[in-house]
Amino acid sequence: MKSLSKMIALTGVVMVAGCLATSMASAYKEAEAGTAVVEGKITFKGKPPAPMRFRLTKFPNSTFCSQVDTDQQGNRALQQVNVTHGTLQDVVVYIQNIARGKPFKFNGTDVKISLCRLLVQDGSSTFVGVVVNGADIRILNDDADPSDPKAAKGVLYHPHAYEVVDGRSRTMFDLPLPDKGQVITQPVILREKGSMMKLQSDRQQFMEAYFYPVENPYYAIVGSVGTYEIDQVPPGKYDLIAWHPILGTQEKEIEVGATGKVTVNFEFSIFTRRRFVSPSTPLLRGRIR
């Protein structure tokens, strides 16, 4: 009976993922691409927050995990707000409500675990990325510790994915990842509008990454230079979103012509927080219906 129940549950997940993928694909249509460009700069006003610190001896594999991002006092330092010369990185800039345009061939989202860090791959940031509802996320364990007999074949991680909205969370999946070279592949299933995805390791809470859901290819992930550029934008009026997982979301209405460039800048500060999610406190386990 337990096996049958698991089979039914798994079938339900696959069916939901398939429906979400079909819905996403039918919402956006490939058509003639535009020629306009939306560009800009993301800045931060004021002094950025200090890194969060985690005493490594309280977590498994503390010696192995101490190889990077430590403060020389036995703490892992997690910098969630990265500012360089006044520019802010780890921001997703996204043009909403575009129904037609350039090709959108999304092959899923990849994350690599390296030296006790969740590193988002194939983008300008390793801290934030994008997901598509119904598409896969893949998590690779690239860690083994030959000096520890228990971790010689792989450091044990436990990636836990949450759908987060308005301070509430729902577990999407929570799976062990014990062996080096092992990959977890799961469909992304976000049920509520306005939610985002958070990934954290249950065994090492200082490991985290965040993902913004997109439905079209008109997005950019801001790297250390603090600028973005979105090309081939068709003419029209749109909502332009700038999202940082800790500092929140800003939105501006833009009008794009047939050609040329539209420059839109965003300024964040510690006072611009909206939809704030603090990884330093347990997420509320309120049900998302």
**Residue 58, domain extent:** 2-268
Q: Does residue 24 contact residue 189 with C-beta atoms inside 8 Å?
A: no
Residue 98 has pLDDT above 90, yes or no: yes
- What is the rounded CA–CA span in Å between residue 130 and residue 262? 23
In a domain? residue 185: yes
Query: For the chain, how long is the longest CA-to-CA vector?
Result: 63
Residue 275 lies in a domain: no
On whether residue 82 sits in a domain, the answer given is yes
- pLDDT for 26 equals 54
Tell me which residue of 199, 205, 160, 189 sits closest to 288, measured CA to CA: 189
| Average pLDDT score, the chain | 88
- Over residues 93-119, mean pLDDT: 96
Percent of the chain with pLDDT over 70: 85
Environment class of residue 57 by beta-carbon count within 10 Å: exposed (0-12), middle (13-18) or buried (19+)? exposed
Q: Please check whether residue 34 lies inside any domain of the structure.
A: yes
User: How many distinct structural domains can be found in the chain?
Assistant: 1
Q: What is the pLDDT of residue 27?
A: 87
User: Does 35 or 21 have the greater pLDDT score?
Assistant: 35
Q: Which residues lie closer than 8 Å to 251 by C-beta, 6 or more apart?
A: 239, 240, 241, 242
| Cβ–Cβ < 8 Å for 130, 214 | yes
Domain annotation covers residue 280: no
State yes or no: pLDDT of 172 exceeds 90: yes
> What pLDDT, on the 0 to 100 scale, is given for residue 13?
45
Domain for residue 285, yes or no?
no
| Confidence category of residue 273, pLDDT binned at 50, 70, 90 | low
pLDDT digits (tens, 9 = 90+) for 189-221: 999 999 999 999 999 999 999 999 999 999 999
Gap between the Cα atoms of 99 and 78, Å rounded: 38
What pLDDT is recorded for position 284? 33
